[in-house]
């Protein structure tokens, strides 16, 4: 019996394990069953995904199988792959993520792209990110525009720990100054003016959160998702305050929900301190980013 199970076990090659796991994930309605299986197996084997494919005839040892089984169970309970493996690729880098930060989304690369199109290739600029989470946005900008000065805040101390860890991981800890606090509160008595303020604030209407896929509503921090009754609470706070911290002509750039264009336009118009309110779409064709410019004060 023992010999039999040993023999059966030795047949579990990487190829067979991947194919079994892919079908198992499919039967549990996991969205990307094949790539999830490969990423998790590579993690269990402490190797790169490419090596998993290159060594597909290699049998798995019992301890490797048992490590992988634990990861399969976590994924079946709908824990996101990024939390299981502890990182996520965004822009040009891998960022450490924990359950205390939102997992960076490909859609948010549109926000980084929009910021890059505004930031000059040279010359000092001061950039502030609000609600930095993993730091993916500000660190991507810092890697592209080394001559700028970067500041980033979050009200979650645990999120800031992750952001700082990512800054060190990418040798950008000298470029970005992190501080804790809610939106603009830490800057209250400060005379700092920024050339750009950027944020991916929480924007999901409260009642919608429990209807999102379990990967999001069971695992991601509600604090980073919950935008209040209509999803626009953060925009009201940020838009009505940001102009006081922007230099004349400075830009405010925000990620938006796909159906929030009209609501955000109204908030910006009601504030009266901005001009050129421009919405741009993500690669899925959804409104995803709003950019507005602080109106220059008329000197009299």
Residues that bind ligand GLN (CB under 6 A): 105, 107, 200-204, 216, 225, 255
The whole-angstrom separation of Cα 58 and Cα 69 is 17
Would you say 33 or 205 has its CB closer to ligand GLN? 205
Q: State the nearest-atom distance from the C-beta of 50 to ligand GLN, in Å.
A: 29
- DSSP letter at 207 equals H
Would you say 107 or 173 has its CB closer to ligand GLN? 107
The whole-angstrom separation of Cα 214 and Cα 55 is 33
Q: State the nearest-atom distance from the C-beta of 203 to ligand GLN, in Å.
A: 4
Long-range CB contacts (< 8 A, 24+ apart) of 25-32? 25/75, 25/76, 28/76, 30/75, 30/76, 30/78, 31/213
Would you say 186 or 221 has its CB closer to ligand GLN? 221
Element (H, E) at 195: strand 194-199
Q: State the nearest-atom distance from the C-beta of 255 to ligand GLN, in Å.
A: 6
Tokens 């998790």 -> residue? 40
* Number of CB atoms found within 10 A of residue 101's CB: 30
Would you say 200 or 241 has its CB closer to ligand GLN? 200
User: Helices (DSSP H) in the chain: which residue ranges?
Assistant: 2-10, 14-27, 33-44, 49-54, 62-76, 81-85, 109-118, 136-144, 157-169, 206-209, 214-217, 233-242, 261-271
Would you say 64 or 215 has its CB closer to ligand GLN? 215
Q: State the nearest-atom distance from the C-beta of 108 to ligand GLN, in Å.
A: 7
Q: State the nearest-atom distance from the C-beta of 13 to ligand GLN, in Å.
A: 37
Classified as helix, coil or strand, 105 is coil
Q: State the nearest-atom distance from the C-beta of 214 to ligand GLN, in Å.
A: 12
Q: CA of 67: how far to CAs of 5, 6, 186, 278, in Å?
A: 18, 17, 44, 49
Would you say 39 or 232 has its CB closer to ligand GLN? 232
Classified as helix, coil or strand, 196 is strand
- DSSP letter at 102 equals P
- How far is Cα of residue 111 from the mean position of the Cα atoms in its chain? 11
- How far is Cα of residue 42 from the mean position of the Cα atoms in its chain? 22
Q: State the nearest-atom distance from the C-beta of 225 to ligand GLN, in Å.
A: 5
The whole-angstrom separation of Cα 231 and Cα 218 is 19
Would you say 110 or 293 has its CB closer to ligand GLN? 110
Q: State the nearest-atom distance from the C-beta of 261 to ligand GLN, in Å.
A: 15
Q: Which two three-digit tokens encode residue 194? A: 């920024």
Would you say 217 or 271 has its CB closer to ligand GLN? 217
């Amino acid at each position: 019996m023992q010999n039999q199970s040993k023999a059966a076990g030795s047949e579990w090659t990487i190829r067979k394990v991947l194919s079994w796991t892919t079908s198992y994930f499919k039967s549990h309605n996991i969205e990307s069953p094949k790539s999830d299986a490969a990423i998790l197996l590579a993690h269990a084997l402490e190797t790169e995904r490419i090596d998993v494919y290159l060594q597909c005839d290699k049998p798995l040892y019992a301890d490797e199988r048992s490590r992988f089984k634990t990861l399969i169970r976590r994924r079946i309970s709908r824990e996101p792959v990024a939390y299981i493996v502890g990182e996520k690729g965004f822009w040009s880098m891998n960022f450490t993520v924990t359950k205390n930060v939102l997992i960076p989304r490909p859609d948010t690369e549109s926000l980084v792209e929009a910021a890059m199109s505004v930031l000059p290739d040279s010359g000092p600029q001061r950039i502030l990110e609000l609600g930095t989470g993993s730091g993916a946005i500000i660190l991507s900008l810092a890697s592209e525009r080394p001559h700028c000065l970067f500041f980033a805040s979050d009200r979650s101390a645990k999120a800031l720990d992750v952001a700082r860890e990512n800054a060190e991981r990418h040798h950008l800890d000298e470029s970005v100054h992190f501080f804790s606090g809610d939106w603009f509160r830490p800057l209250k008595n400060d005379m700092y003016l920024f050339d750009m303020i950027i944020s991916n604030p929480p924007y999901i209407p409260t009642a919608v959160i429990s209807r999102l896929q379990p990967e999001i509503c069971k695992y991601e921090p509600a604090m980073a998702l919950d935008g209040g009754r209509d999803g626009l609470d953060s925009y009201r706070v940020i838009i009505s305050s940001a102009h006081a911290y922007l230099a004349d002509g400075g830009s405010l750039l925000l990620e938006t929900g796909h159906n929030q264009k009209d609501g955000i336009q109204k908030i910006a118009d009601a504030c009266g301190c901005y001009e050129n309110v421009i919405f741009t779409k993500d690669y899925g064709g959804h409104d995803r980013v709003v950019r507005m410019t602080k109106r220059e004060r008329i000197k009299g």
